[in-house]
Amino acid sequence: MRAHPTRRDVLALGGAAAGSLLGRVLPAQEPGERPPRTEGARVLNPRARVPLSFIIDDSTCLVNLAHFAIPQFAEVFPDRYPQDWRRLPREIPDAFVRKFMGFCREHGVKGKYSIVPYPACVGWIDRGMPGWTRKELEASLRFVREEVAPYWDIHPEMVSHTWGIDTRTGRPYPDRTEKNMENWGFSVGRSAEFLADYLGYALRLLKNVGLPCEGITTPGGFGSRVMPALAQGTLMACRDVFGVDVAHYFRDLYTDGRSVAPLVQNAAGLDTDDPRCVVSLIGCTGDWTGGWDGLEEPEPDKFITEDLRGGRLPEVIARGEPAILVCHWPGIYGNGDERGLKAFRTVVERLEKAYDHLLWMKNAEIARYWAAKACTRIQREGRRLSFQAPFACPAFTVAVEAPPEAVPRLVAGGAPRPLREVPGPLRLEADTWTRDGRETIVCFDLPKGGSVVEL
């Protein structure tokens, strides 16, 4: 049953309304500063591969958000939420989280995992979760810190994912209408400063339990009508709470033919000691692993078909854009039958059969790479490439036309750094190089500041 009107349904899946909104909102986004472009050098994807990432929404510690959110959604929209929420499990156990994360580590899967800090107003992750012991909550948080966070970005998905919270009191606003629901009207007409305060409130709850964040995920339609303010507010909040130079957020996805390349926004201070920007990461798939409530039938063929030729992912991979898959955690759990996990396993196995040039990355890693790609000043003078980077970036990969006898040498951070030749682009990693036709490709950990590649 699909009754959850999210950003994915309303904004991102095409159609006249989405097209109208795209034309009205996205051009208002501010790219900010950009260095001049240089001739004779191309920034490739990291390690000359196509990034993959897996976005998991509606996850948190212990609580099955669907079970608790449905009656709250139904309070405002009774006709849209006929699901029998009492029959859904109240918990998604950590044993399942361990099973899922074990599969992902085995296959190198990375992405984003939400921790809703006050899920459906059930309880606070930094205080207590009624219905679970303090020991159970602490064990769940410890697992996220130690076993999930190294491979997945942790995001707040606003504060409750249901009712808007008064940050002065920590209580939901008393007016129980659409305008005070995070998924719908709560963000409408809000300023960047208001959103920064609200996002910062959510980020601090995660900081209280030792979970670092470089970005946020919006619940439902949150921010869809104030996109410039959302970008600015995200950057302000992430800088204020965690001191990041490259913030990011997930708000949109497109399953039609539009580009899903990350959007680097609000870049500023690139020639100063305080550079900053925010990156909008765009999903490329629908939620085809069981839906937001775990009641839908998974459709792995929509990601990639059994013959490895059809589906959304081959289309995006062929363009070389980051293929960011999207799901909801209750759907992966499948209300206990794990149908979503089984479907995701099928997708991963098909990708491994079809491709040898994919690279699983965290959301923040993709955001940082695209920020460095957009904001690094690259100049070529003869056989010398100079880089002035406001943001450090691992595995920065550049292709340049060079004579076949050219052997690149790297000077980074004022010191020479040896480069090792490898036999082809698929063998690239940090501090290596290879020849590919008329081009020399160099992959190195780009430091903040100046560096030089001599050919």
Specify the 3-state DSSP secondary structure of 197: helix
Q: How confident is the model at residue 26 (pLDDT cuts 50, 70, 90)?
A: very low
CA-based Rg of the chain, rounded to a whole angstrom? 22
For residue 440, is pLDDT > 60? Answer: yes
Question: Among all chains, which residue has been given the structure tokens 């100079």?
Answer: 386
The candidate with the shortest Cα–Cα distance to 241, out of 280, 275, 198, is 198
Q: How many angstroms separate the CA atoms of 230 and 238, rounded?
A: 12
**Average pLDDT for residues 177-189, to the nearest whole number?**
97
Taking 50 as the threshold, does the pLDDT of residue 18 lie above it?
no
Q: What is the pLDDT of residue 29?
A: 76
Q: CATH 3.20.20.370 region(s) of the chain?
A: 7-39+49-369
> Which residue did the predictor score with more confidence, 14 or 439?
439
Residues 78-105 as b or e (16 or more Cβ within 10 Å = b): eeebebebeebeebbebebbeebbeebe
| 236-254 confidence digits (pLDDT tens) | 999 999 999 999 999 999 9
Domain 7-39+49-369, second-level architecture: Alpha-Beta Barrel (3.20)
Tens of pLDDT, residues 49-73 = 999 999 999 999 999 999 999 999 9
pLDDT band of 17, cuts 50, 70, 90: very low
The predicted model scores a pTM of 0.94
Going by their DSSP bridges, the two strands 323-328 and 358-360 should be labelled as unpaired
